[in-house]
């Protein structure tokens, strides 16, 4: 066990020592009102977690539009053990390469941000390398240190314009948006949409896939150009309790789709809150029961058979999640929906929800 503060051992020296000694185990760093935990494997970083909700993998994928609340909630509620990312891939909610890119960004940016902290405490516990589970992402410390060195000159200018992560922004009317001076992985439309929602720095970063430095750099450019100005007002996010109350009201009105959406959002924000988890599961069961009555049984009590309404070439061009694509390809015009649901690679309830989406989009028709 190695414990200390940045005053006794700089974070750069600590990371270089970890890489040089090829340390495996767990590194916890506290500072800047955030606790970050890094999993180490022979001197490289293979996982990062954070006490800040907007930096958690599920929230980054959700905010960046890679998954929706319902898909995230299903993976959180499946009762399986193991990394969330592996479960998301198993459920077909996200492609493996999309997940790997998100994990690499999450690790890289978490380490890079720690290197910019002035004060902090660290706790290093050496131990066996963790077993590889699901999609694996490996970030070398040398690469992060080199990247941090290239960014170091820019940080003072960024912080002079954006003092902290609680900062919100307002679009300035009449000021044209100047293109970024260097190519960057920042979608200005998505960034400005987050600004319009009244988001502060952390939610904006999450909305751009966790690209912390690139987002702050672009925000600082826009502030310097006068296209954005700092403001104190920001949108107050609904609490999980408020979302559950809204979901319950919508359920009472029979608006099950919107009710499940609100309940799923509450659950993904607070998956360990028992009352929130119970409300989500209760509303999910009610929606599944409704779908079962309307989708599985046709007139006269006969089983309904799904038929594809899109050809193979057209299906390949549609934006479908992996699970949606797999279930669509299982439709052959002979097997009834109940049989397909029962033999799906996921829970029958989840498969039924996916088929409902395919029907709503006109990809599948029930005969």
Q: What is the pLDDT of residues 262-297, one digit of tens each?
A: 888 888 888 888 888 888 888 888 888 888 888 888
Angle value at C-alpha 46, between 40 and 47, nearest 5 degrees = 95
Nearest to 91 by CA among 263, 255, 321, 293: 321
**Which residues, at least 6 apart from 291, have a Cβ–Cβ distance to it below 8 Å?**
352, 353, 356
**What is residue 345's predicted lDDT score, i.e. its pLDDT?**
79
pLDDT at 236 over 60: no
Structure tokens at 282: 């209760």
Confidence of residue 187 (pLDDT cuts 50, 70, 90): confident
**How far apart (Å, rounded) are the C-alpha atoms in residues 269 and 277?**
10
User: In which residue are the tokens 């000159």 written?
Assistant: 153
- Rounded mean pLDDT of 54-74? 80
Same domain, 264 and 315: no
Same domain, 331 and 315: yes
Rg of the chain taking only CA atoms, in angstroms? 23
Give the residue from 86, 121, 151 where a domain finishes: 151
The answer to which of 62-66, 97-101, 192-196 has the lowest mean pLDDT is: 62-66
Give the residue from 215, 231, 247 where a domain finishes: 231
- Asked whether 116 and 159 are in contact (CB, 8 A), the reply is no
Confidence of residue 322 (pLDDT cuts 50, 70, 90): confident
* 291 vs 79: which has the higher pLDDT: 291
Question: What are the distances in angstroms from CA 243 to CA 117, 204, 261, 263?
Answer: 35, 21, 9, 6
Give 160: exposed, middle or buried? Use CB within 10 Å, 0-12, 13-18, 19+: exposed
Number of structural domains (the chain) is 4
pTM of the predicted model over 0.85: no
**What is residue 80's predicted lDDT score, i.e. its pLDDT?**
66
- Asked whether 323 and 354 are in contact (CB, 8 A), the reply is yes
**What is residue 79's predicted lDDT score, i.e. its pLDDT?**
65
Nearest to 14 by CA among 111, 156, 134: 111
* 49 vs 1: which has the higher pLDDT: 49
Same domain, 360 and 220: no
- Rounded mean pLDDT of 174-178? 86
Kindly provide the residue ranges of all beta strands, DSSP E only, lying in 186-268, ordered along the sequence: 228-231
A 10 A CB-CB count for 275 gives 12
- Rounded mean pLDDT of 84-112? 86
Confidence of residue 242 (pLDDT cuts 50, 70, 90): confident
* φ, ψ of residue 364 in degrees (nearest 5): -125, 140
Same domain, 146 and 248: no
pLDDT at 82 over 60: yes
Same domain, 290 and 310: no
Please report the sign of the dihedral spanned by the C-alpha atoms of residue 204, residue 209, residue 213, residue 218.
Answer: negative
* 86 vs 80: which has the higher pLDDT: 86
Domain holding 318, by residue range, is 297-367
Same domain, 103 and 132: yes
The answer to which of 36-50, 68-82, 105-119 has the lowest mean pLDDT is: 68-82
Percent of the chain, pLDDT > 90?
29
**How far apart (Å, rounded) are the C-alpha atoms in residues 21 and 265?**
43
Tally the residues of the chain: 367
Structure tokens at 98: 């999309």
Same domain, 222 and 308: no
Give the residue from 295, 311, 337 where a domain finishes: 295
- Rounded mean pLDDT of 230-238? 66
Q: What is the mean pLDDT of the chain?
A: 85
Find which of 182-191, 219-228, 295-304, 314-323 is predicted with most confidence, using mean pLDDT: 219-228
Same domain, 166 and 282: no
Same domain, 40 and 75: yes
Give 105: exposed, middle or buried? Use CB within 10 Å, 0-12, 13-18, 19+: buried
pLDDT at 133 over 90: no
Confidence of residue 140 (pLDDT cuts 50, 70, 90): very high
Same domain, 13 and 138: yes
3-state class (DSSP) for residue 193: helix
Same domain, 244 and 317: no
Structure tokens at 102: 């998100």
Confidence of residue 332 (pLDDT cuts 50, 70, 90): confident
Same domain, 161 and 139: no
């Amino acid at each position: 066990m190695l414990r200390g503060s940045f005053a006794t051992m700089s974070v750069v020296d600590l990371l270089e020592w970890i890489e040089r000694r090829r340390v495996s185990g767990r590194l916890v760093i506290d500072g800047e009102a955030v606790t970050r935990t890094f999993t180490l494997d022979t001197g490289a970083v293979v996982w990062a977690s954070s006490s800040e909700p907007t930096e958690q993998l599920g929230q980054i994928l959700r905010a960046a539009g890679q998954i929706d609340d319902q898909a995230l909630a299903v993976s959180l509620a499946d009762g399986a053990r193991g990394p969330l990312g592996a479960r998301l891939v198993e459920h077909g909610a996200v492609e493996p390469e999309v997940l790997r890119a998100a994990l690499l960004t999450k690790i890289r940016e978490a380490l890079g941000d720690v290197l910019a902290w002035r004060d902090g405490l660290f706790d290093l516990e050496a131990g066996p390398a963790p077993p590889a589970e699901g999609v694996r992402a490996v970030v070398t410390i040398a690469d992060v240190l080199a990247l941090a060195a290239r960014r170091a000159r820019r940080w003072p200018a960024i912080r002079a314009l954006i003092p902290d992560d609680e900062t919100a922004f307002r679009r300035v009317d009449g000021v044209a948006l100047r293109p970024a001076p260097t190519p960057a992985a920042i979608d200005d439309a998505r960034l400005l949409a987050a600004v319009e929602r009244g988001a502060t720095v952390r939610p904006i970063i999450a909305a751009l896939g966790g690209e912390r430095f690139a987002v702050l750099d672009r925000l600082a450019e826009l502030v310097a150009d006068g296209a954005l100005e700092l403001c104190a007002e920001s949108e107050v996010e609904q609490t999980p309790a408020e979302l559950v109350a809204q979901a319950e009201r919508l359920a009472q009105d029979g608006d099950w789709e919107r009710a499940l959406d609100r309940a799923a959002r509450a659950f993904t924000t607070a998956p360990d809150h028992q009352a929130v988890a119970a409300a989500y599961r209760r509303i999910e069961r009610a929606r599944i029961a409704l779908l079962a009555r309307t989708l599985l049984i046709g007139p006269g009590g006969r089983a309904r058979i799904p038929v594809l309404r899109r050809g193979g070439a057209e299906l390949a061009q549609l934006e479908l999640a992996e699970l949606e694509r797999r279930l669509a390809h299982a439709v052959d015009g002979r097997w009834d929906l109940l049989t397909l649901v029962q033999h799906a690679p996921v829970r029958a309830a989840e498969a039924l929800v996916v088929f409902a989406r395919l029907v709503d989009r006109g990809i599948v028709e029930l005969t």
